[in-house]
Amino acid sequence: MIQRSLLRSLQSATRPAQPLRLAQRSHSTTFSPLRTAAPSASQQLPARRWHSQAQEAKKDDTVEEQADAQGQGDKASGAAPQADATQKQLEAKDKEVIELKDRLMRQVADYRNLQDQTRREIQAAKDFALQRFAKDLLDSVDNFDRALSGVEAGKLEGESADKDLVALHSGLRMVEQILMTTLKKHGMERFDPAETADKFDPNKMEATFQAPQQGKEDGSVFFTQQKGFTLNGRVLRAAKVGIVRNS
């Protein structure tokens, strides 16, 4: 805008001025010196016009500058609330992301716990599926043990040994060993606390009586009335034992 105004002013100022007319005076013999005529009103018009146009251009420039400054101020004043709103939206989104992440982590943890619990329950169901069947076999195993322990050792050795009784005893012993080996493959084991003189354990044993025993420590097992059984580490039947009590 400033350039166009200045260009118009320069064009008006550079227009060729009308030639000054010299006033001629006729004399008969001599010529008087020429005098320059004063500029007329038409000749002063371009200069005035250029001055007015320059002032108008300055006014226009001032108005445009004020408008630009006001526009920039309006933009700055409008940008501040918009920035605050954007910052609040970002903070809300960050909070939402944190909550969703926490919820997701909790759900993943719950799902993994459920998987572990289900796996343990399935394994326990497999390990103890034969528990009822194993309990039903305990009486048969006990009867084998009673039959073998009921034969005196003197009748199985020496010249007075009965060959038929020895063969029957050996057969029962083999059947018992095969049966116990089969049960052990499925996690079922028999234990006798009196063989190792274990301390009394209420989790695995049941005390039926107490008696003094010389040379043995109080609370130790010295007699097994009924052997105990475990199934995959869990007590299937507690052993019935006698405990030493000297004091």
Question: Which tens digit of pLDDT belongs to each residue from 38-91?
Answer: 445 444 555 555 556 666 666 666 766 766 666 665 555 556 777 788 888 888
Query: Rounded to the nearest 5°, which phi and psi values hold at 222?
Result: -120, -10
Give residue 38's pLDDT. 46
Give residue 153's pLDDT. 75
Give residue 100's pLDDT. 92
Cα–Cα distance measured from residue 58 to residue 63, given in angstroms and rounded to the nearest whole number: 9
Query: Rounded to the nearest 5°, which phi and psi values hold at 21?
Result: -90, 130
Give residue 127's pLDDT. 76
Tokens of 231: 């199934």
b/e map 118-157, b = 16+ CB within 10 Å: eeeeeeeeeeeebeeebeeebeebeebbeeeeeeeeeeee
Give residue 111's pLDDT. 93
Give residue 78's pLDDT. 59
Give residue 189's pLDDT. 92
Q: Which whole-number Å values give the CA distances from 214 to 52, 112, 133, 193, 211, in the listed order?
A: 139, 57, 41, 18, 10
Give residue 36's pLDDT. 43
DSSP three-state, residue 228: strand
Residues in the chain where the model's pLDDT stays below 70:
1-61, 63-64, 66-79
Tokens of 228: 């105990």
Give residue 1's pLDDT. 55
DSSP three-state, residue 44: helix
Give residue 102's pLDDT. 92
Helices (H), 128-217: 131-149, 163-185, 193-196
Give residue 113's pLDDT. 94
* Among 222, 219, 234, residue whose Cα is nearest residue 128: 234
| Angle at alpha carbon of residue 69, lines to 63 and 75, rounded to 5° | 135
Could you tell me the domains of the chain?
188-246 (2.30.22.10)
The per-type count for the chain, helices as H runs and strands as E runs, is: 5, 6
* All residues at 6 or more sequence positions from 213 whose CB lies less than 8 Å from its CB, including other chains: 222, 244, 246
